[in-house]
Amino acid sequence: MGKLVQVATNTVTSPVSSVEFVSKITTDDVYMVASNNITLSTDSALLSMQLMIGSTPQGTANYDKAGKLLRADTTFGNVSSVNDTFGYYDTILGTATQEQANFIYYFYNLNNSSEYSFFSVENVFRNNSSVLQGLAGGGVYTVAEAHNGLKFYASTGNIASGTFTLYKVL
């Protein structure tokens, strides 16, 4: 992978229901989303991601994912699910000041209607119990269709703050 070309950025300074990159995936390149200082407005909410077609999030039960969860308070664990309605992992955040998430996603085959869309993710977060955790994993959306956008949202409440930046990887 060569250089990163910034496509769009969204900085949340007051609560929003979601952060969307609508119709921003326009080529067959690899795309990356980097985020930092993500906080949620509701305690014990899950930070989630969905692929989009136009302005419509794909919330069907076609996300398969697996990863290794590293925890500061105990040994590592495995996380996985099949036929889920979103493409993110065990990132449950609280509302305390230090409880926030940072992640990097890579997306593959998003613009290709004859292939599944794949993603890999690395994140570090302090969860709703104030435990530092990290995750490395990946997933696939098991429908061959082109996706031209991404949606990030909280399972309950809103995204309270943070920055999301979409890059094209050349």
- pLDDT-based confidence at residue 89 (cuts at 50, 70, 90): low
Burial of 104 (0-12, 13-18, 19+ CB in 10 A): middle
Distance CA 20, CA 148 (A): 11
pLDDT above 70 for 1: no
Closest alpha carbon to 162 in 22, 27, 34: 34
Give the CATH number of the domain where residue 114 resides.
2.60.120
Looking at residue 131, what is its pLDDT? Answer: 84
- pLDDT-based confidence at residue 166 (cuts at 50, 70, 90): very high
- Neighbour count for residue 5 (Cβ, 10 Å): 11
If one counts the domains in the chain, the total is 1
Supply the pTM of this predicted model. 0.93
If you search the block for the tokens 């909280």, which residue do you land on? 154
pLDDT above 90 for 158: yes
Looking at residue 93, what is its pLDDT? Answer: 75
Domain of residue 42: give its range: 4-169
In eight-state DSSP terms, residue 13 is S
